[in-house]
Amino acid sequence: MKPKPSIVLGVLCAGLLAGCATPSHLVFHQSTAIGADASANTDTGQVHVAFGYDRQTNTLIPKTETTNEHNEPEQEAMSVVSASEVRIKWLGLHEVTEQFATGKAARNLALDPKALGQILTLTVPTTQPPR
């Protein structure tokens, strides 16, 4: 028996939706594409199709289990403090500088603005842009 196209499509959509979960890692992602490009995020299930030139910068922040003020479990985005600088030359990556803290370290840093400023100002370019 030949399966109906609608059933095949339904199964495909279910497969994609099954992947709609919180990511397991904190991920910083940059991409540049020229040509025909199709991609699917395996954590969120989002599909992206592009022709020609496309450039993206994404950060995937996973959720963690916490409790609210009523001591009920809930999910919220993980704690992150980060500063990034990415330099692209033509199509290739030229330079990456990143400083970040996650989890308890991020929460502690957020309580100390001076320390936070010192961490984040470490992300400085090696050469100044022409004036």
Partner 1 sequence: MSAWAQLGLAGMLALLATGCACGRYGTVAARRTLTQTAEVIEVYGFGALLRPGGVDGGFTLGWRHATYICPRISRDEAAASPRWTFGIVPELRVEPFFLAATSIGGEVVKYPTVLQAHVGIRTDAFTFAAHADETRVVSFRYVAGAPDQTILAMNPLPSLSRP
Backbone angles phi, psi at 108, to 5 degrees: -65, -40
105 binds partner 1 (CB under 8 A): yes
Q: What is the spatial distance between Cα 70 and Cα 79, in angstroms, rounded to a whole number? A: 20
- In whole angstroms, what is the distance from residue 83 CA to residue 120 CA? 6
Amino acid at 49: V
Applying CB under 8 A, does 120 fall inside the site for partner 1?
A: no
In whole angstroms, how large is the CA radius of gyration of the chain? 20
Task: Give the residue with the Cβ less far from partner 1, 4 or 25.
Answer: 25
Are the CB atoms for 17 and 8 separated by under 8 Å? no
* Nearest approach, Cβ of residue 44 and partner 1 (Å): 9
What whole-number distance in Å separates Cα of residue 83 and Cα of residue 121? 8
The verdict on 37 binding partner 1 (CB under 8 A) reads: yes
Output the smallest distance, CB 9 to partner 1, in A.
18
> Exactly one of 70, 104, 114, 131 binds partner 1 (CB under 8 A); which one?
104
Binding flag, residue 17, partner 1 (CB under 8 A)? no
- Binding range to partner 1, per CB under 8 A, among 1-9, 56-64, 110-118: 56-64
Token output for 53: 């030139």
Task: Give the interface with partner 1 as residue ranges (CB under 8 A).
Answer: 22-43, 60, 62-64, 78, 80, 82, 84, 86, 88-89, 91-106, 122, 126
